[in-house]
Chains A and B, each alone.
Chain A
Amino acid sequence: MKYATEFRDPKAAKAVLARISALADQIGATRAAPVHIMEICGGHTHAIFRYGLDKLVHEGVEFIHGPGCPVCVLPMARVDECVEIANRPGVIFTTFGDAMRVPGTKMSLMQAKAAGADIRMVYSPLDALELARRNPGREVVFFGLGFETTTPSTALSIQQAAHEGLGNFSVFCNHITVPEPIRALLDDPHMVLDGFVGPGHVSMVIGIHPYDFIARDYGKPIVVAGFEPLDLLQSVLMVLTQIRDGRAEVENQYARVVPEHGNPVSLAAIVDVYEKRPSFEWRGLGEIDQSGLRIRARYRAFDAEEKFGVGYAAGPRVVPEPEGCACGQVMTGRIKPTACPQFGCGCTPEMPLGALMVSSEGACAAYWQYGGARAPEAVE
């Protein structure tokens, strides 16, 4: 595979890789005792594999793939609830295409659509709003999922619906937040994490201060990063530099897009429309306190949970993961995808068993598409 030649600036990449190697040697990181750096965002996971960064960096640097792919952490029960809403008479159920193939306990949204439910893939919640305007006799429901990057779009759409009095529009809100699962992972005694590469586009909304606790309370460095290969390498270098210097800070490698305090309009819309749920279920991670959002009472008319009596409000429904599936362990970085007994046999991108195989941002799909990392089996 010709990874390195695809860098638009191979010379710069080489220079950063050399500095990473020097630092890794300096802090004594080896293949047997590597520095564990978690990239939180699924977009970064995808980029790391696409450019083969996991193979290019010094062997003492190991990437741990974080829970930052919203489709991957979607519990089966939430998919079941989507199908339940979509099957109600008169409903047009709208969703991002990414969620279509996530397996529920009985079926995915794709299968429900094939079975006759009116489910439509949209690019934006704005499309769902437009559908509601054009179909006054129907109930249009938008499946609101995703992290803080996506949350403002549904918040602003709900505000717009309220402004127009669009009574046939509602959002099935399953938005989640980035900082809380990171705290849960840091509290997990089985996890070994030495530093983080922070999400770029989430941070463009929330800024860099929501990560302060990672440095302050847990003494770990975190560097918010862009999506170009050079951005990622530079961020790894910044994390390693902090480790060498014995510092733990929140740094912003992606300042050209990420403002320190985030985007004020987005943040105001989020606060106006949403509030934290006491806890929320994550696939593979279980219940995490304060990690999900729900629609505030003042926008109740646009809350699909209220409208249809379905969802988290109706009582948490935890359903077990499919037999032999190791999604939870992969999600928390305990094992590599190739160590899952289902990888490539019971579970492929065409016939996914777990959600990590569905989205290009999922670690399993990335391993499948680009090949595994440096012979992980060789490391005991």
Chain B
Amino acid sequence: MCLGIPGRIVAVTDAARMMALAEVSGVRREVNVACILDGPAEDLVGEWALIHVGFAMARIDADEAAKTLQALQDLGEAQEAAEAMAEGAKALEGQG
């Protein structure tokens, strides 16, 4: 749970609340981008970031994202994050 996982920002969902849609390990979910914002939120679309428990914490380049993802997959952390996101979605529906 301590490791951030690379995700790609695909859309801004709520600029006022600094929320965006990110694709993390093949799963799409809303993340908070407050920590990586340095201009209009739209500029983040297409960018990679390290995402930690639903918060984008640092911008990284595509090469770094690929390498980190590979290392996290080796550690089983990428799969764990995907499962945790699925759990989170279930919890909202009251089935968690």
Residues of A within 8 A of B (CB): 6, 8, 41-43, 46-47, 50-51, 68-71, 94, 96-98, 120-127, 130-131, 134, 146-147, 149-150, 152-153, 156, 160, 199, 201-202, 204-205, 226-229, 256-257, 259, 263, 265-266, 269, 359-361
Contacts and interface: CB of A to CB of B under 8 A. Distances in A.
17 contacts: A46-B75, A121-B91, A123-B81, A125-B54, A126-B55, A127-B54, A131-B91, A146-B1, A146-B2, A149-B52, A150-B1, A153-B55, A202-B2, A228-B68, A259-B58, A263-B35, A359-B1
Interface residues of B, number: 42
B64 A257 contact: yes
B71 interface: yes
A301 to B, nearest CB: 20
A297 to B, nearest CB: 24
Contacts of A147: 2
B4 A201 contact: yes
B53 A153 contact: yes
Given A227-B72, A266-B35, A96 B84 contact: yes
Interface of B: 1-4, 17, 29-32, 34-35, 37, 50, 52-55, 57-58, 60-61, 64, 67-68, 70-72, 74-77, 80-81, 83-85, 87-89, 91-92, 96
A124 B75 CA distance: 20
Given A68-B2, A257-B58, A265-B37, 10 more contacts: A120-B96, A122-B91, A122-B96, A125-B53, A130-B92, A153-B55, A201-B57, A265-B35, A360-B77, A361-B2
Contact of A153 (B54, B80, B83): B54
A256 B68 CA distance: 12
Nearest to A147: B2
B54 A123 contact: yes
B4 A204 contact: yes
Contacts of A121: 84, 87-88, 91, 96
A226 B1 CA distance: 16
Contact of A149 (B57, B67, B81): B57
